[in-house]
Chain A
Amino acid sequence: MVKIFKILVCFLIALCISSQAMNLLLPYSLLVRPYYDAKKQFQFFVMAEGGVESVRGFDCHDQTNSLRIFESTQNALTMLEGFPALSPQTQLLTRLHADDNGIRGHFDVCGDLRLDFAGNAAFRYFFYKTWSFSVYVPYYVMSLNDVVWCDKTVHETDADERVHALLTDTLFDRVHELGCDLSLCGWQRHGFGDVTLMAEWYNDFPQAKEFLRNVRIEGRFGISLPTGLTTDVDKVFALPFGYDGAYALPFAGSLELTFVPGIWIGFDVLLTHIFGRTAVERIKTANDQTSLLLLQKACVYRDFGLSQEFSLWFGTTDLPKGLTTLIGYQYNKHGKDEICMTNNSFSTLVANTNPTLKEWTSHQAIIRVDYDFGALLPEDTCAAPRLSLYTRIPFNGKQSALVTTVGMSLAVDF
């Protein structure tokens, strides 16, 4: 048993090292977390996942690079707009004396955004019948590599030459100087995500029907603590490892139906209310600015939209005994965020035109295979391990960066 466990851990580590990933793992998502029941009082499990392909970005219409999900090009001219008259940004803008003709000052940006590792350690305790309490501690390693800023400005007009000489040829320096240390290079970040405490309940309702054998109803709610790494406003596209410094209340419910030949289907709804929080963010100071070139940092209060996750699945269970398979569909939607400036130096209306605040969605398929080694062990064994392998295959989305991942989880009930 220990030997098997060691082999699995080695496989898991090897998998993580060899994979590249993007999607953040939501450790309490029903379709990826290990199964559990109340036969044992405790469950400990670890999860890890990695991608098997490059990150795919989904803008409003098509698939694109992950750095282009909000805009097809980044605009270095408009990044100078909206600042006070005598500010260096405005002085430079005046000196450029250039209008935005659609290519001047524009950059094609691409980069390789990776989720190098997403892991989770969790512990569950059944404190009363089927009531359990669980703690999820995720950890992530992300990196952005091979960032390329391709200047589209031509050399035709005086304005072109000005933009080249004064702005785009030295964009990184300019942005660093005028943008309060904003770096347009790649980065690597690692750290914990938001720790989640969750109370869960389920109940089985066996059915004496010809085909339907069991109905399971499950409910859970909890709190997500802002322990995760927040957005690094000085790095480009450095996403938070959680709810960006905010508390959140996830609550969910699901229904599972088990039929005679060992087929089961179910659906799950997970809603997460994220509490508003005040933090320093990069804000838009003019309507036409693009999301990667925001020079102004400001303290803002962010009112998060509701996060919704809808899951549907079907599969087989105990065919053969201990083996569970699942094919699922998961739809995620995050509502529009709003921000409010904590001072009146800049316009809240303009700041709220940031496309990163808009709602985003994702659609993904999940294929999963589980084996409960407890089926091979006697009933009274002290520990029953479970192994799960899964893949998440995103196929559509809006303003989201998604990647196909392969992951595994190993749980031990005791």
Chain B
Amino acid sequence: MLFVQLFFCVAVFSNVRTLNTYSFCRFKGCYMMCVNRSIVILYITIFSYTYAYKVVPGNSIKPDVTFTFPVAECIRRADGFMYISAAADGAGAFSIAALDVKLNIFKPLIEEKVVFNGQETVNPLFDKKVQFIGLLEQQKVGILAVPDDTSATVYFLDTPQTKELLSYEGVTDASGAVSSGIIALSGSNKSRAYVAVKPAEGIFGDSGSGINIIGTMPHTIKVGDKEETRIVLGALSHAVPFDTMSAALAIQHPLQKLVAPVSLVWSMVHEFLYIGVGNAIAGDQVGDGVRSIALGINDKVERNSLLIRSVFDILFDVSGLQNNTIIIAAQNEPLSVHHLATMVTSTGKVSLIVVGGNGAPNETRATVRAIPLVPFGDYKGLVANKYNTHERALTVAECVTNDDPQACVGGLVLPAGPIHSLSVRGDVVFVTVTEGDSAGVYSSRALFDACGEIKGWTEWTRASALTQPIFASSVEQVKGNHYMLIANDENQLPNTIVHTAWDGDDHSLAPVVSFVDQTFDIHGGMQAMYQFSPATPGFGPVSWLSIMGFGSIACVQTGIRLDNDVMIPTPSDTYNKAAIFHNGAIDHTPTDETIMYIDGGALQDIGPLTTVACAHSQELSDTWLVVAGTRGVAILQHTDGSGCGEQIGPNFSGFEHGMRFVPFGAYDFVRKLSADGEYLYILTDTHLDRVRLAADIQQSIVTTIARVGQTGLCNAQTIFTDCVISNSLALLATSSGLLSTAVGSRIIDPVPAWMCVAVPEGETPIVALYPVSSTGFEGDCARGVGGMISVLSGNAYNNLSLINRFAIVGQAEGESVKEDTVQPFWVDQFLSGKPSYFIDYGQAEDLYATDGAITLAVRNKQASNKTTIKIPYVKTPPLSGVRFIGVRSQLLSDVVQGNASVSALFPSNVSGSWLLASTMGMKVNE
């Protein structure tokens, strides 16, 4: 796994002083000799890796390979269980294997000899290819297996006891004849599974194609004089027809074309089957149309029968389909579905996630759409009215379209290329890409409105630092690790399962961690960590991680965005050059470095740095890096007060020789810096200042726009704790509650008005605000489709922490705040009609972090209690109206040292890896 490719040494000489006192620190691959706090010589030895993830052991003896065979199918569950099947003969007992969650290794499930249909014999699956597997998840998990798509035989294997195998041979097609092959299989949480079968003659789509049910059932037989009840496998005598004639797909006349692949997805919420077709083209007569997804419902009358119907309850007037924007229904355009998944959001809404849409298969492989479904009631499972998802869509106008932001997962077509697999965890859609230079895993998170409906999606971001083909991915919610199926052989076939881990020390950011740990190992360690994305005004196509310590800051270029809008993480072997500056001044212009470290000078006077911002003026075409902390604010500027220019570019372009940090104003205990528009905002414990950026930054006009004790704002005892500023909106967290710019007001007004925002059943003080926007830049949460804000309230005073969620409505630039701009999530309620909090942690938490899939909370050391990180119990994931989510959270052990003080925890906007900054160093879950 680990290829040591490069040994690189860089010596940086600066500030050479007498070597009378020094400390010599050693760490893996990096040696640093320090004289007092001045770095004299830095040798960095960099290793380069193909990847640094942990490989799950399987049947391969190679440490960096899991299996000796390619994997055909990989089924992942939220609780970490994983099942795989072999795509080729020769896997031995590993033809089907399961991940042992405790030991984190794959164990074979196929024994060489089994009791097969009541007789002990050689296991027909042993050492054989298994193309499809599905799970029957009841009290125990049973596995259904289909050898290949030319087989009409289904095998059933119970777990954890695997000594008995059942089979059903001769699964029939819709005509009652034995099918020529099974092309798709879906398990369920019932005793039934569903298979898509080809007709006895021809290909799928031809007459006779259908969906059959395979189920386990008790069967009584006579053994001698006794009757014994055994579990047997059975199927319908005739598959339910599903072909070009199917009324669930065709509008008016039969389809011209219906071809595989078929996607079968069982919805646990509805207990319905969704059937998507790979390519469907409407009939060629006037008024003909096509739907690409059908709904399979177990017939209430005939228990073991399937009713296939349309997902729409619309009597289609195809004139409404003329624009061909309904995603899964069209008039004269082909429709395609490559992958299907259902999503139950943290607000309790249900969506069908579709890879595909309007167009031929090759046109839609990078398109992901979300279609709201009716969550419950008589019409559950049908396509919902986009204006009220509790109701079915009755007209075409009520269906989501390609133009609706709530339907467009990732906002745009995935720029990385065709999607190979799809998975959903929490509020996040994950897709993997195996082709092209941008291979990897990408994710997009749902954004909600106040009613909990999806109103938009975050832009596609990488969810893994791996930049190689990934065939499947899944986030497990027990430890928050990300499992991925990759190829690690010369044939580039998927054969290796890797996963992220907190305890790895050879991840892609390892050189950064080493640098940071050594650089910030004195004076309290890391004090704060921020990240900037290309969406940050003033930033070019680069992402930064800014790490702050006592009088020092390190800026790390973690990624660069290519022309195709795909972010590429900085390879670890390019972290070999660090531009190191002392006395708070840049004494040479950085050229090709990926780390820039500055200490001393004005930074030393500030002491502990706690916040950083990039102030950008479009009017002035200038950008400044601003830092602040305990004893003031400092701005990196030229002597004439100008900054880095239009934007900060790759390898710190814009930072030039002669720039230095200069103190700004007279501040102490700065809580946060925020930049929006032409302004920089400085939040201290007692006031919020607005700085109108000027060409000479030191000449900027400073206006105090909020002050404790201000009439109509808050009393003199109040403390400001956090703020989020976006467009005209400012949200101000205080020890007395949550404030917002008042209706009709703007934060850029000369004297902005303020109003209180009720936090339903929340606590005071408000400790922190966690904004989410579609771009990843918090200043965009009141722009475009808007965003969301999670509010952490309560603290040690009452040993309580609550999370409340608010929806932020996007506004036009400069538009005044409206009444509905900030609204609590009405769906977060435990009693009908009474909005409440989302999560109650039951004790004080200092940090809250979520990427939509994984939710973490940090409680720093308090007296005898050690620092802990919590993750919700896997069986009670965060969901509106569900109690005890926080209280039942599980501790993530061994992530941080018990006496560490965690100052930041968030997922990287470049790689999706979780980053944790603490006084004891930096940790990465990668």
Tell me whether A343 is interfacial, beta carbon within 8 Å. no
Instruction: Report the bound CA distance from A287 to B919 in whole Å.
Output: 25
Q: Choose the segment among A84-92, A144-152, A189-197 that binds chain B (4+ C-beta atoms closer than 8 Å).
A: A84-92
Does A177 sit at the interface, judged by CB under 8 A? no
Q: A75 to chain B: closest CB distance in Å?
A: 6
Provide the residues of chain A in CB contact with B719, threshold 8 Å.
91, 94-95
Would you call A91 and B901 a contact (CB within 8 A)?
no
Closest to A105 in B: B863
A162: nearest residue on chain B (CB-CB)? B669
How far, in angstroms, from A84 to B721 measured CA to CA in the complex? 18
8 Å CB contacts to A: which residues of B717-755?
Answer: 717-719, 721, 735-736
* Contact residues in A for B717 (Cβ distance below 8 Å): 86, 88, 91
Taking a contact as CB atoms under 8 Å apart, the answer to whether B764 and A161 are in contact is no
From the candidates A90, A99, A154, A161, name the one contacting B630 in the complex (CB within 8 A).
Answer: A161
CB nearest neighbor in B for A290: B863
Does A37 sit at the interface, judged by CB under 8 A? no
- Which chain B residues lie closer than 8 Å to A158 at the CB level? 527, 607-608, 610, 629-630, 669
Residue of chain A at shortest CB distance from B628:
A158
A49 neighbours in B (Cβ, 8 Å): none
Q: In the complex the two chains form, is B901's CB within 8 Å of A82's CB?
A: no
A82 to B844, CA, bound (A): 11
Complex alpha-carbon distance, A272 and B225, angstroms: 82
Q: Which of A88, A97, A156, A165 contacts B550 (CB 8 A)?
A: A156
By a CB distance below 8 angstroms, the chain B residues around A287 are 799, 863
Q: Are B899 and A94 in contact (CB under 8 A)?
A: no
B860 surroundings in chain A (CB, below 8 A): 99-101
CA distance A99 to B861 in the complex (A): 6
B219 within 8 A of A: no
0/1 string, B790-809, CB within 8 A of A gives 1: 00000111110000000000
State whether B797 touches A93 (Cβ < 8 A).
Answer: yes
The interface residues of chain B lying within 8 Å CB-to-CB of A102 are 861, 899
B867 to chain A minimum Cβ distance, whole angstroms, is 8
Q: Kindly state the separation between the CA atoms of A165 and B550 in the bound complex, as whole angstroms.
A: 17
B669 near A99 with CB under 8 A, answer no
- In the bound assembly, the distance between CA atoms of A87 and B669 in angstroms comes to 21
CA distance A158 to B630 in the complex (A): 5
Asked whether A81 lies within 8 Å of B796 as measured between CB atoms, the reply is yes
- Distance in Å: Cβ of B708 to nearest Cβ of chain A: 10
CB-based contact A85/B607 at 8 Å: no
Q: Which of A9-64 contact B (CB under 8 A)?
A: none
CB < 8 Å: which of B550, B863, B899 contacts A288? B863
Q: Provide the residues of chain A in CB contact with B631, threshold 8 Å.
A: 161
The answer to whether B862 and A288 touch across the interface, beta carbons within 8 angstroms, is yes
Is A389 part of the contact surface with B, judged by Cβ < 8 Å?
A: no
Q: Which among B735, B846, B919 is the interface contact of A90 at CB below 8 angstroms?
A: B735
Q: Is the interface of A mostly helix, strand, loop or mixed?
A: loop
Give the complex CA separation of A156 and B767 in angstroms. 22
What is the size, in residues, of chain A's interface with B at 8 Å between Cβ atoms?
35
Q: Which residue of A lies closest to B733 (CB)?
A: A94
When the two chains form their complex, are residues B524 and A86 in contact, meaning their CB atoms are under 8 A apart? no
Closest Cβ–Cβ distance, residue A74 to chain B (whole Å): 12
CB within 8 A of A83: which of B685, B797, B919? B797
Q: Kindly state the separation between the CA atoms of A216 and B899 in the bound complex, as whole angstroms.
A: 61
The interface residues of chain B, by DSSP majority, are classed as: loop
- Please state if A94 and B765 are interface contacts (CB–CB under 8 Å): yes
Query: In the complex, which range does the number of interface residues on chain B fall in?
Result: 35 or more
Q: Does B491 contact A (CB under 8 A)?
A: no
Complex formed: what's the CA distance from A80 to B765 in Å?
Answer: 14
B863 touches A75 (CB 8 A): yes
Contact A157 B797 (CB under 8 A): no
**Nearest neighbor of B766 in chain A, beta-carbon distance:** A94
A231 at the binding interface (Cβ < 8 Å): no
Collect the chain B residues with CB atoms within 8 Å of residue A87's CB: 797
Asked if A159 and B901 make an inter-chain contact with CB atoms under 8 angstroms apart, the answer reads: yes
Are the CB atoms of B527 and A157 closer together than 8 Å? yes
Chain A nearest CB from B324 CB (Å) reads 55
Q: Indicate whether A97 sits within 8 Å of B901 (C-beta atoms), given known contacts A80-B797, A81-B799, A102-B861.
A: no
Chain B residues positioned under 8 Å from A100 (CB to CB): 860-863
| A4→B767 CA distance, assembly (Å) | 75
For residue A90, which residues in chain B have a CB less than 8 angstroms away from its CB? 735, 765, 795, 797
Chain A 150-185 per-residue mask, 1 if CB under 8 angstroms from chain B, else 0: 000011111111100100000000000000000000
B863 proximity list for chain A (CB < 8 A):
75, 78, 100, 287-288
B-chain residues with CB within 8 Å of residue A94 when the two chains form the complex: 719, 721, 735, 765, 767, 795, 797
Q: A82-B797, A94-B721, A100-B863 are in contact. Are A157 and B735 (CB under 8 A)?
A: no
A93-B862 contact in complex given A102-B899, A158-B669, C-beta closer than 8 Å:
no
* Inter-chain contacts of A157 with B (CB < 8 A): 523-524, 527, 550, 608, 901, 919
Shortest C-beta distance, A87 to chain B (Å), equals: 8
Q: A161 vs B607: C-alpha distance in the bound complex, in angstroms? A: 9
Which of B763, B799, B899 has a CB less than 8 Å from the CB of A85? Answer: B763
B864 at the interface (CB under 8 A from A): yes
Chain A residues with CB below 8 A from B799, complex form: 81-82, 286-287
Evaluate contact between B608 and A161: CB separation under 8 angstroms. yes
Contact A86 B861 (CB under 8 A): no
Query: In whole angstroms, how far apart are the Cα atoms of A81 and B863 in the complex?
Result: 12
A81 to B765, CA, bound (A): 13
Nearest CB of chain B from residue A232's CB, rounded to whole Å: 27
B629-642 interface bits toward A, Cβ cutoff 8 Å, 1 = contact, 0 = none: 11100000000000
The answer to whether B735 touches A91, judged by C-beta atoms less than 8 angstroms apart, is yes
Least CB separation from A160: chain B residue: B524
Of A90, A101, A155, A157, most buried by chain B (CB within 10 Å of CB) is A157
Task: Decide if A85 touches B765 in the complex (CB within 8 Å).
Answer: yes
Question: What residue of chain B has the Cβ atom nearest to residue A92's Cβ?
Answer: B719
Hey, which chain A residues are within 8 Å of B864, CB to CB?
288
- Closest A residue to B550 by CB, please name it: A156
Q: Report the bound CA distance from A58 to B376 in whole Å.
A: 66
Residues in A with CB closer than 8 Å to B846 are: 99
* Whole-angstrom distance between the Cβ of B218 and the nearest chain A Cβ: 54
Q: How far is the CA of A83 from the CA of B794 in the complex (A)?
A: 12
The proximity string for B residues 647-676 relative to A, scoring 1 for CB distances below 8 Å and 0 otherwise, is: 000000000000000000000110100000
Docked complex Cα distance between A288 and B685 (Å): 26
Beta-carbon nearest neighbor of A75 in chain B: B863
Which of these, B550, B685, B901, contacts A95 with CB under 8 Å? Answer: B685
- Give the docked Cα–Cα distance between A159 and B846 (Å): 13
Chain A residue with the shortest CB-CB distance to B718: A91
Interface set, chain B 248-297, CB cutoff 8 A to A: none
Instruction: Give Cα A154–Cα B610 distance, bound, in whole angstroms.
Output: 17
A260-272 interface code vs B (CB 8 A; 1 in, 0 out): 0000000000000
Whole-angstrom distance between the Cβ of B253 and the nearest chain A Cβ: 68
Q: What A residues does B630 contact at CB under 8 A?
A: 158, 161-162
A88 to B797, CA, bound (A): 11
Instruction: Find out whether the CB atom of A95 lies under 8 angstroms from the CB atom of B524.
Output: no
Residues in A whose Cβ lies below 8 Å from that of B798: 81-82, 85
When the two chains form their complex, are residues A101 and B797 in contact, meaning their CB atoms are under 8 A apart? Answer: no
- Would you list which residues of chain A between 309 and 355 have a CB under 8 Å from chain B? none
Q: Nearest-CB distance from B525 to chain A (Å)?
A: 8
Q: Can you name 24 A-B pairs with beta carbons within 8 Å?
A: A80-B797, A83-B797, A85-B764, A85-B798, A86-B736, A90-B735, A91-B717, A97-B671, A99-B862, A99-B901, A100-B861, A100-B862, A101-B861, A156-B523, A156-B550, A157-B527, A158-B608, A159-B901, A160-B608, A161-B630, A161-B669, A286-B797, A287-B863, A288-B865
Residue ranges of B at the interface with A (Cβ–Cβ < 8 Å)? 523-524, 527, 550, 607-608, 610, 629-631, 668-669, 671, 685, 717-719, 721, 735-736, 763-765, 767, 795-799, 846, 860-865, 899, 901, 919
Given contacts A86-B736, A97-B721, 16 further A-B contacts (CB under 8 A): A78-B863, A81-B796, A81-B798, A82-B797, A82-B798, A85-B798, A97-B671, A99-B901, A100-B862, A157-B524, A157-B901, A157-B919, A159-B901, A160-B524, A162-B669, A288-B864
Which 10 residue pairs spanning A and B have beta carbons closest together? A156-B524, A288-B863, A99-B860, A157-B524, A94-B735, A158-B608, A90-B797, A95-B719, A161-B630, A85-B764
